Structure 1
């Protein structure tokens, strides 16, 4: 269960913040909520911004809790980049300490419905219902798994940085354009790589890949809903096993930041193997970045789905 910061702690952090708009080195201070937002902020900001991440590497971002120092960072930042509804503790801190200098990535794009993302993962359930943990506004937060949506957000981040630091606005815009081109190239690689496949059903431990499936014409079959820590019912496991057998599924995907046990159990049941499909909520390899992980995802998908090279 996510825990929010106590109001007293939020107030204490607000009072201790000095409201500075720049880091100690004079650069624009940008605080980001989790990895994909950190990635685009670093690429767009370049060497004239200092970017920090509220979610530690390898940590599950859904359940992030903030200490007083992190709330102070939000209060003192020149710009806060977050995703409303995804991390309640961050939402609370922004509302009380940073609403005048915060940018909500959800305002830049059309988010998909969490209900539609979870619909297939709950078909045919009996007994006790499973409830997915979704954004507070009922949307699926994982937009960054569609490179074109991430490009749109990067362009908006550039505009927000330009407002906070007008002297470098043109540089931010130029770097966002370069990043957008790279993301569109990646999008083309996915489109080509997943164009002709033996199977189009993507069996995942939880339904984090709605945007990827929607963009590239795949069908996501989630063992659980959007919440990566949810436990599937025996009925749900049986239903997914039946679907996997019907579709000739050879691979059950699990994620880097959660236990693979459920995926392994299902794989044994259907005679399939397991593989990693990374939702990119946080990095576990310091030598990796958004592009390398997404290309690793593409390689895993083309192998699992029997796609033509």
Structure 2
């Protein structure tokens, strides 16, 4: 079991985010018409876009933070947002089935659909940094005059993410959670592994059958699992019967900023997840 697993250490140097001087000196003051109108499919993309773009962008999100994208139904207001937008940032996930219909309904010839494709769990620092780089380059392509501002915003946010990663490592040192056997929702397996937990098996996204549940219980017993991790956005009670049968702790974590009170930023959402895991394990 992964007893010596350590949390990921991310380099402070972020590829593509090298700040370069500009010959024109200070950029002119931003006018309302110059602001990039951005629509995002999730709160992850919304938060990154706001941190990168600052007051140079106007960001509206579509899928509520508490909802799984695969369960989302678009509204007329979402169509209006896209009809007025310059950019539509999406993940490219299979669950984002609403994207093509929304773009078609918006009938906006100036709208650019951009897929911020990053593999891995978006609650982990490495994914946040990689996505930030993509968003920054996307904004620069649309608004080259403000390149230095977008690069600075991306560098500031990425540096914060790196420091948060290091802070989490320091916080978890000596807590004894590394290598802890856990059964985990498919959606949170990457995050659990980043924490150093030993994911002995995953379940979902399909609804568990009685046979599935029994197989997971058997695996949990054989591996000595002491934690079951559910996802608040999809199947939040999927692991309840498993945890009860095994007599172990269960925790429900979030996969998007803003799903719980006072988790509107990535770093606050990360802190809440860690607090919940430590509490469940009696730390």
Range class of TM-score, shorter chain: 0.7 to 0.9
The alpha-carbon distance between structure 1 residues 188 and 91, as it changes in their structure 2 partners (threshold 3 A), is farther
Query: Deviations for 1:155-188, whole angstroms, at most 9, x for unmatched residues?
Result: 2211211222233221111011011011112222
Deviation at 1:210, TM superposition (A): 3.4
**Corresponding residue SS for 2:98:** helix
User: Are 1:23 and 1:50, in contact at CA under 8 Å, matched by a contact in 2?
Assistant: no
Cα distance, 1:294–1:281 mapped onto 2, change above 3 Å: closer
Equivalent pairs, count: 249
Paired with 1:26 and 1:286, the residues of 2 have a C-alpha distance of 32
Tell me, which stretches of 5 or more residues in structure 1 are unaligned?
Answer: 1-21, 112-141
Match of 1:101 in 2: 112
Q: CA deviation at 1:249?
A: 2.9
Give the whole-Å Cα distance in 2 for the aligned partners of 1:241 and 1:91.
40
Aligned partners of 1:81 and 1:64: how far apart in 2? 16
Most deviating of 247-256 and 92-101:
92-101
Compute the TM-score of the two structures, normalised by the length of structure 1. Answer: 0.69
| Greater share of helix | 1
Matched, 1:239 2:215: yes
Deviation string 1:16-70 (CA, Å, 9 cap, x unpaired) is xxxxxx9976521110001100110111111221100011242222222223442
Contact 2:189 2:202 in 1 (8 A): no
* Cα separation, 2, equivalents of 1:305 and 1:194: 15
Select the residue among 70, 73, 86 that pairs with 1:65: 73
Equivalent residues of 1:60, 1:281 under 8 A apart: no
Match of 2:186 among 207, 215, 222: 207
1:144 counterpart = 2:152: no
Structure 2 unaligned regions, length at least 5:
1-29
CA contact (8 A) 1:59 1:282 kept: no
Equivalents in 2 of 1:210, 1:98: separation in Å? 39
RMSD after superposition? 3.1
Query: 2:146 & 2:68 partners in 1: Cα distance?
Result: 33
Match of 1:145, SS? coil
> What is the 5 A alignment of 1:1-309?
26-86=34-94, 87-94=96-103, 101-106=112-117, 109=118, 111=119, 143-192=121-170, 193=172, 197=177, 199-204=179-184, 206-221=185-200, 224-225=203-204, 227=205, 230-258=206-234, 260-280=236-256, 283-285=259-261, 288-304=264-280
